[in-house]
Amino acid sequence: MEKREFLYEGKAKKVWTTDDPSVYVVEYKNSLTAFNALKKDSIEGKGRLNNLISSVLFEHLGKKGVPTHFISRIDDLQQLVRKVTIIPIEVVVRNITTGTLCKRLGVEEGKVLPRPLVELYLKDDALGDPIITEDHALLFGWSTQEQLNKIKEITLKVNSLLSEYFLGLGIILVDFKLEFGTDTEDNLLLADEISPDTCRFWDRDTKNRLDKDRFRKDLGDVLGAYEEIWRRVSSAEAL
């Protein structure tokens, strides 16, 4: 597969076309942003770790029957993915209360929810990714009812699969964000990335934060946390 034309650069990734019109190359960047990019930094090695972690997780989900855009990892920083048109909705799943949920609703931090909470946010940096309902998504044409039904079903399946996977590594999957897209044949695919940038991971025993909260809250050793996730994920893969 040959890398062709540079297409665009986002906050955490760059995208190129290839000689196959249905395949893109994604490169993971070291830049880290939080609070709608009000806080920014770059951490050497972060892009590599997210690429490695996300590749393994997408492969795991693919093997379990989740339709994804992931094709293969090329090297330390790059992946081959299926070209998709991203649905402009960020889907957040929460198993434990924290983050913006607690800020927005004033609910207690650290409560285990009786069942996973699925929330939709409009993917729009200029608006600060506002929370929306299914009706907003339908009435403004951001997705169809059929897509929303599938998105919810796949999201809950990903949550069960990854919660179990991480618990096996001594990690609690607290919450995470997913994005979906449609390929050239209109199939709905899980897209974007799954990494410590997009998930909250707590060590099961110490409750240490092993994710981007270390950056958001200035807890220190951000890279060490990402390395720890990769260490556990890769040791599971080696089994």
Q: Which stretch binds ligand AMP (CB under 6 A): 24-32, 69-77, 132-140, 192-200?
A: 192-200
Residue nearest to ligand AMP (CB): 99
Which positions from 94 through 133 interact with ligand AMP, judged by CB under 6 A? 99-101, 129
Using the rule CB under 6 A, which residue among 142, 176, 202, 226 binds ligand AMP? 176
- Smallest gap from Cβ 234 to ligand AMP, in A, equals 21
Using the rule CB under 6 A, which residue among 50, 51, 90, 165 binds ligand AMP? 90
Q: Are 180 and 89 in contact (CB under 8 A)?
A: yes
The residues, any chain, with a CB within 8 Å of residue 30's CB and separated by 6 or more, are 42, 43, 44, 45, 46, 47
- Smallest gap from Cβ 99 to ligand AMP, in A, equals 2
Considering the complex, state which of residue 145 and residue 207 has its C-beta at the smaller distance from ligand AMP: 207
One symbol per residue from 37 to 76: x for binding ligand AMP (CB under 6 A), - otherwise; what is it?
Answer: ----------------------------------------
∠ CA 218-169-25, nearest 5°, is 70
Q: How far is CA 54 from CA 47, 57, 171, 214, in A?
A: 10, 5, 16, 19
Residues in contact with ligand AMP, total (CB under 6 A)? Answer: 14
The residues, any chain, with a CB within 8 Å of residue 157's CB and separated by 6 or more, are 64, 66
Pairing of strands 171-182, 89-96: antiparallel
Number of residues that make up the chain = 239
Q: Give residues in contact with ligand AMP (CB under 6 A).
A: 90, 92, 99-101, 129, 175-177, 197-200, 212
